[in-house]
Structure 1
């Protein structure tokens, strides 16, 4: 296959990202292959955040002066932008400081009495199901929920290539209330066959909570078509700033959740005996908001839309095929995840001759190639492969074949440095 980006267009896109002209410790331009950890930002996003502070900074929904009005408008306009990006309604978007907070908001809310004041939404005799493929952010909150409430905790396991094994769907039993699952693994790169999981969950009345952190910046995504009830999003992985995330929730389900944080902005009325809360989504948005980051994230989403999410997906598929071919040609390298590039997002984790990933990363850094090393906040998934950690190269819309060539050359340097396979 071929990339939909011509060499000229890719060069133009790369020129939009100032950091790609940065030289590394070895004196060469840095090859950035760590987009799965955090994406780099186009100039328009960087300038949008700076411009907001210089021209429109004010407290959201807290004043009638010009700056407060402009800030509030940016705040709500961005909600509409993200809703449009994922195919949701603006009232179904809740601002959080990151995707982890979004997941914890749901998990915490379920352990408390609902808005009708009755029993907690989940308790003893109920079950929550997650998977071995999860980032800790979509695993630990559900373990803690089980500990707080006494509900059962279960998980879907993996097949040999690290895909969620649909043969383990029997973990979703009649008493299941929540199924929390990743849309794409941050280690195996495997794209989840989500439809049968959602079907099994909804068949027993369970809510599906979807982690889109490794998919939402890399492929078209329509949350209504996917059928998830809740989903988390991470601004800094979507060409936006750090410090901002969002929760999508189906309107009628958000209505059932109690507040996660309490304080200013989410209050409708207070006396010394009782508090009433704003309607959703404001009910979940206590305190001062990261308005500059929210506005800049909206600019990032506009940028991605203009490039075209399907074109980004096809470009990264082309490079994923090239990346897998390059990695499998390296002697002593064990690739984690599906061998078919079409079943992946644009990342590949690997073990290299058993050399500690930190050592691999340092040698590559000396060659000005930046990858991720460690357990990637997914220890149970690494345990599935008999590993504690791995190396990971991940792609973005600005990645190129030349980037991958420099990675492969760097890995040969690693092999030579540690005298493996000689």
Structure 2
């Protein structure tokens, strides 16, 4: 940037979006980065949804503006769209996000195939135990043993815990099958072994499925939860009353060095400026019933179709005032935020075995296959940190402010013979494209 160029002139595409100049936005997209972030971390799409400029939103989505990108305050364009409250914009942004997710899966396929070919055939069991320092809550939390079989470029996971997030869980008997030799959507399927149905990865969700998800998004808090990992350090856990020694434990058949994870902070941000008083009362009732153990995800009442909110009374703000402001004092562009932030220091431990026959990096790539399970994301994020030497045969990590997950590699069999039928959909299973609506 030359001396004569001011901050106001630095982001011409952002400015055109800010001013709602659709013709100029269209012209500038030819030679400007559609995902560039301005001094507040906002992309052009952030600004378009924050200001309710629908035509700009649709044009940016048509040009494939990235959805999963957060601004300096930690919010994505989808979060800002929910705050503004236009149902059509929320739906369009959500559809584009699903499309980009599908594209990323296909883009990562070569990396996954390389990881699968680099691993020998194996069978491993992961034990999940969810606990809480709140006694009553701890008593009702689920546990599960995930059984993972890998042969050639195929992988299968069997689980009884379909999902666990935000104090809601769903039980079942399901299997995920990935067949690297198949093409496109045929390579991935989820089986409901109780109902004897299966669902393949869909190219595109139906209008009804997207509408249901929009209803839910517009009826609940906007939540951004992130684990602060920058100050994290590992130190050997100590054992003994008088003479402290480094802690060593047997985890299954493996001897492991135990480490404390220091400096892990869970930062949770919530916004609810888009919610009515009725929404807040209903959400509080659902959370209370779940925390008392009287409700699970299956008994949560159906959300009625949400209408668009009235457009917020936007304060008059010039581009110069917006771009020259400090992020902490940035002018309100859309609906005035109702915001709450919580920071909680979390305790975590990890047990490392240096002789474990599985390598960590290719396993991380294989875990991408299990992405539909939100609780696996936490494990994937944690083990991607720079861990102490060895393989993490047991990990204790926070998944919610009051909930800790203990994951144990309790059984591992290398070069095991697994029948090919394990990776095929049984002939008596019927296809149900709506069984798993989040897939």
Structure showing the higher helix proportion among its residues: 1
With normalisation by structure 1, the TM-score equals: 0.23
Greater length-normalized contact order (CA 8 Å, ≥ 6 residues apart): 1
Higher strand share: 2
| TM-score normalised by length of structure 2 | 0.23
